[in-house]
Amino acid sequence: MNLPNHQEIKIFTSNKNICGLKILHLSDLHINKNTSSTFIEDLVSICNSLEYDIAVITGDILDCKVSKIEDKLLILNQLRNIFCVSGNHDLVYGLENMKVILSNFTFMDNNCIEFTYNKTQITLCGLPDRFSRFFGHKRDEDFIIKQLSSSDGTILLAHQPKDYKFALKSNCSLFLCGHTHGGQIFPFHYIVRLFQPFLSGLFYKDKTAIYVNKGLGTWGIHKRYKADSEITILNIIHK
């Protein structure tokens, strides 16, 4: 599997607090025993060559048990200023073990942090995957909504597009997710759309900009067709 060239997407918002912010958005790496260390090293090299303020991964780093890919995961620690949320595959294959290995990551499940950008405070929050409760993990939706609602510049991370509703409820400025793989292989796009409100790309709902990343890895069949993988820089621009 070859890495794509990075792309830049302009996201327009009326919220001046987050304007100018550059976000590196990755998703759905699906690292398994067949993923080469060279692939991950090249990914890190590409990402570290880009200019961005924060980097996010919206779930599904794993696609097998952590013990089988520990050396490959360790390479990801070279990424800088990175935040992530869990995906359903992370829950299946060992989220807690992954957290130990990825010591340079900030995990955002049920978590909110504030950081300063252009002398203003921006709130970044994360929701764990919707299947968390089946794996004994708490999913505190009320806490996240409360935190987002009390701040002016807000970004919500989640794995599945379905969680955009929590961004809308809290007047969140930006919602980032993945999970869909953009359908991965056409015509499965149509099946994905039966279960998810968005397939891939940029959408606007009320005051919220929504971006669904097609991800880097594959699931099941290790091919893509009419759903290219992506490494994306999101440029936040005032409209």
Would you say how long the chain is, in residues? 239
| Residues pairing with 211 in the sheet | 176, 202
Query: For residue 219, what pLDDT is reported?
Result: 87
User: Would strands 22-26 and 232-238 be described as parallel, antiparallel, or unpaired?
Assistant: antiparallel
Is 219 exposed, middle or buried (CB count within 10 Å of its CB: 0-12, 13-18, 19+)? middle
| Residues pairing with 123 in the sheet | 154
Residue with tokens 């924060």: 54
Query: For residue 234, what pLDDT is reported?
Result: 98
Task: Tell whether pTM > 0.85.
Answer: yes
Its CATH architecture, for the domain 7-238, is 4-Layer Sandwich (3.60)
* Closest to 24 in 3D by CA, of 2, 57, 62: 57
Residue 231 CA to residue 68 CA, distance in Å, equals 25
Number of H helices, E strands in the chain: 7, 12
- What is residue 78's DSSP assignment? T
For the chain, the structural domain boundaries read: 7-238
H-run or E-run covering 236: strand 232-238
What is the residue-level pLDDT of the chain in tens, covering all 239 positions? 679 899 999 999 999 889 999 999 999 999 999 999 999 999 999 999 999 999 999 999 999 999 999 999 999 999 999 999 999 999 999 999 999 999 999 999 999 999 999 888 999 999 999 999 999 899 999 999 999 999 888 999 999 999 999 999 999 999 999 999 999 999 888 988 989 999 999 999 999 999 999 999 998 888 888 889 999 999 999 98
The verdict on whether omega for the bond into residue 187 sits within 30 degrees of 0, i.e. cis, is yes
Interacting residues of 199 by C-beta distance below 8 A, sequence separation 6+: 180, 182, 183, 189, 192, 193, 212
Query: For residue 27, what pLDDT is reported?
Result: 98
Query: For residue 139, what pLDDT is reported?
Result: 95
Query: For residue 71, what pLDDT is reported?
Result: 97
